[in-house]
Amino acid sequence: MIKSNIVRGLPITPEECTALDSKRVISFITSDALKSEELNVEAAWSQLRLVYKILIWYIKSSGTSTIVALKYVNQNLISLLLQRFDSGHARLRGSLRKTIYNIYRRFVVYRSFIRKSLNDIFHEFVCDTQKHKGISDLLEVVGAIISGLSEPLKEEYRLLLTSVLIPLHKPKCMGMYNEQLTYCITEFLNKDRELAEPVIRGLLRYWPEKSCQRELFFLQELEEILMFTQHVEFSRYVQQLARRPQKCLSSSNYLVAVRALMLWENKSFVRLFFESKTEIVGILSPVVDQNANCHWHVAVKNSSMNLRNIFVVLGDEDLRR
């Protein structure tokens, strides 16, 4: 019964109907039809929600025999559940997320299969389709898995970071799952700070050139990563890392420039900055001077003037030495 209901998908959501309508695929859909479809979705979901509740209860129950459960909770069922993540129904994806994670916790024998299946979905998304509605939910599952890892990390999990999570910065639609991806990466760094170096390399490799929105995401993630970065790792990429804020400070989008200037409010960045100040100041001074003199946005101009004053003080201190 559970398997039959899981295989049966929910009706198309009104939002998906509207999206299709905008593409003139089903332009005949009316508002009455959308309302009717919404009622169908609610009716179908009320039944399917109960099915998932029963399944989760069965998996978590201390009275469930693991040996017996393995006959029904098998790789075929797990694959079906993972396929359902590519759904436009957020509530369905939420139930799927809870189900998969509880299977992962309860049935140790399936952990390797689940991790491999997740990796395959991410690889297909990055290298082929770049279309999947449930990447953020799948990353939440991965984040929960990472949180429970013991230290030191096995090589398999290091490969998960370098070969799966870091390449997820490449798709243009990463804004849909940026928060969950950042969480996964910082959880890895919390387990092993030496992983900061491959993460920094990955950010530099996939740093966007033409998307202001993605630049904002990258700056935010960089700020969080620097909390786990030591001077040794930072010094190896200091010039490359300094050129990213330099480019952002000269961006035509003032939000990007403001976000780059906010790095100096981060204690971790300031700590690393003072340890490599000569190289960083030399790279950033020209664009900071330009913004302080003639930037059109008041916030960028004022913050640049404050930063220039800091650079001047640091220069005077070096001269006195």
pLDDT at 275: 87
Q: Would you say 42 and 14 are in contact if contact means Cβ atoms under 8 Å apart?
A: no
What is 1-189's CATH topology? Answer: Leucine-rich Repeat Variant (1.25.10)
DSSP H or E stretch at residue 299 = helix 298-320
Q: What is the DSSP letter of 154?
A: P
Q: Would you say 13 and 41 are in contact if contact means Cβ atoms under 8 Å apart?
A: yes
pLDDT at 8: 64
Q: What average pLDDT does the chain have?
A: 87
Q: Would you say 209 and 247 are in contact if contact means Cβ atoms under 8 Å apart?
A: no
CA atoms within 13 A on the CB side of 177: 30
Cα–Cα distance, 65 to 72 (Å, whole number) = 11
Mean pLDDT of 306-320: 73
pTM, to two decimals? 0.88
DSSP string over 30-97: -HHHHHHHHHHHHHHHHHHHHHHHHHHHHHH-TTS-HHHHTTTS-HHHHHHHHHTTS-S-HHHHHHHH
Is 108 a residue whose pLDDT tops 80? yes
Alpha carbon 205 to its chain centroid, in Å, reads 16
Peptide bond into 198 cis (omega under 30): no
pLDDT band for position 274 (50/70/90)?
confident
Give per-residue pLDDT as tens, 158-177.
999 999 999 999 999 999 99
The domain limits of the chain are 1-189, 192-321
Give per-residue pLDDT as tens, 70-104.
999 999 999 999 999 998 899 999 999 999 999 99
